[in-house]
Amino acid sequence: MSLADDPPEATQTRRFLGRGRHLRRLLLFLLATAIAYSGTSAATPSPDFQAWLSDLRTEALARGTSAATLDTALSDIVPIPRVIELDRRQPEFTLSFDEYLTRVVSERRVRLGRRLLAENGRLLDAIAEQYRVQPRFIVALWGIETDFGRLTGGYPVVDSLATLAFDGRRSTFFRQELLIALQILDEGHIGVDDMKGSWAGAMGQVQFMPSSFQRFAVDYDGDGRRDIWSSRADALASAANYLANSGWRSDQTWGRPVRLPRDFDHALVGRDAVRPLSEWQALGVHRADGRRLPRSELSASLIQPGGPGGPTFLVYDNYRTLLKWNRSDYFATAVGTLADRIRA
């Protein structure tokens, strides 16, 4: 699941960035530097942001980004204090699996997902035919990532990525993402002012990082731009393309909730234990309602996202593909659960 935004503070940041007054920008930069380097030795000087930006510009030019795009995208930007604060103080994940699933797969989201699945049936069927991904999974990802395009993030992506790249904690990763973001702007897919996303740089209705955009975003509506921000067709087809190129199989589902026998060997729980369904059946694993598992040699693993004693799921290769999107068992299970409920 993408990192959460803070809309009121994002709005405040946009106001600061838009006023262009030198003194305000200087104060904002000094505050950002103080937050970024709090706790470090006072004898260690902080890098000069303008020198860093000049070096970045040189690298971007060498990679083929035009000077005109760089002039527009990099002029007057400064680190955003809130972005550094969020990166430094990400709260530990304290929700239980049941709490998470109740929140993410809410009744409201299920109802809305069913309605949007029906309303966009023709589009989704065409995407499914081309990319071989079932529509309900595309809609489930759309719903969990941005509440079906409602919460796409309000942070300026270039400014956020520059903040994180300059900060130094994960500079290599975010510098590469920033360079790709500049290439996306140079290709004309989105304007600088419209390139908004999460504080960490995830963009659009499906929350792609720039590198994911570069690899998987598609121009499905044929207007010459890969617009995952405002084009529903581009966003949904891009999500399908991501799954298709990550190993998705349209002839399989993601998994199913199951029931374990009382004497079950819990050492077999985990993604590393892969067995055909027939073997799980022989070990006493049944569907959650007590029925037998399907007669199949399909390979599967048992997982318990909430830990021992919690809900148990038998998951297939498509589940592992969902983990390539987000490496969280909570997330992948929620996508599968929401997809199943949308279909029902």
Region 197-205 average pLDDT: 97
Do residues 339 and 255 touch, judged by C-beta distance below 8 A? no
Digit-coded pLDDT (tens) for 332-344: 999 999 999 999 7
Q: Among residues 343, 340, 332, which one has the least CA distance to residue 305?
A: 332
Strand duo 270-276 + 299-303: pairing: antiparallel
Please tell me the distance from the alpha carbon of residue 149 to that of residue 116, in angstroms, as a whole number.
11
* 270 against 1, higher pLDDT: 270
Q: What is the pLDDT of residue 7?
A: 38
Q: Is the pLDDT of residue 62 over 80?
A: yes
- Percent of all residues in the chain with a pLDDT value above 90, rounded to a whole number: 77
What pLDDT band is residue 16 in, cutting at 50, 70 and 90? Answer: very low
Burial-class residue 207 by CB neighbours within 10 Å (0-12, 13-18, 19+): buried
Residue 56: in which H helix or E strand, if any? Answer: helix 49-62
Write down the pTM of the prediction.
0.83
Phi-psi region of 10 (alpha: psi -120 to 50; beta: other; left: phi over 0): alpha
Q: What is the pLDDT of residue 48?
A: 86
Q: Which of 85, 107, 119, 145 is catalytic?
A: 145
Digit-coded pLDDT (tens) for 271-326: 999 999 999 999 999 999 999 998 888 999 999 999 998 999 999 999 999 999 99
* 276 three-state secondary structure: strand
Residue 331: in which H helix or E strand, if any? Answer: helix 329-343
Q: What is the pLDDT of residue 20?
A: 41
Q: What is the pLDDT of residue 92?
A: 58
Q: What is the pLDDT of residue 141?
A: 98
* 168 against 60, higher pLDDT: 60
Q: What is the pLDDT of residue 90?
A: 63
Whether residue 145 lies in the annotated active site = yes
DSSP string covering 291-311: PPPPS---EEEEE-TT-TTS-
What pLDDT band is residue 91 in, cutting at 50, 70 and 90? Answer: low
Q: Is the pLDDT of residue 263 over 70?
A: yes
What pLDDT band is residue 206 in, cutting at 50, 70 and 90? Answer: very high
Do residues 78 and 28 touch, judged by C-beta distance below 8 A? yes
Q: What is the pLDDT of residue 168?
A: 76
Mean pLDDT of the chain: 88
Residue 179, CA distances (Å) to 54, 162, 341 in order: 13, 9, 39
DSSP 122: H
Burial-class residue 223 by CB neighbours within 10 Å (0-12, 13-18, 19+): exposed
Amino acid at 30: L
Q: What is the pLDDT of residue 2?
A: 45
Digit-coded pLDDT (tens) for 207-235: 999 999 999 999 999 999 999 999 999 99
Q: What is the pLDDT of residue 111?
A: 98
Please tell me the distance from the alpha carbon of residue 1 to that of residue 335, in angstroms, as a whole number.
10
Which are the contacts of 158, defined by CB distance < 8 A and separation ≥ 6?
73, 74, 77, 178, 181, 182, 185, 192, 195
Domain ranges of the chain: 7-90+153-203, 255-315
Q: Is the pLDDT of residue 30 over 60?
A: no
Q: Does domain 7-90+153-203 have CATH number 1.10.8.350?
A: yes
Do residues 83 and 164 touch, judged by C-beta distance below 8 A? yes
Please tell me the distance from the alpha carbon of residue 125 to that of residue 132, in angstroms, as a whole number.
10
Q: What is the pLDDT of residue 297?
A: 87
- Percent of all residues in the chain with a pLDDT value above 70, rounded to a whole number: 85
Structure tokens at 120: 């966009």
Please, what is the angle between helix 81-88 and helix 22-36, to 10°? 10
Q: What is the pLDDT of residue 170?
A: 87
Q: What is the pLDDT of residue 10?
A: 37
Q: What is the pLDDT of residue 94?
A: 75
Please tell me the distance from the alpha carbon of residue 76 to that of residue 177, in angstroms, as a whole number.
20
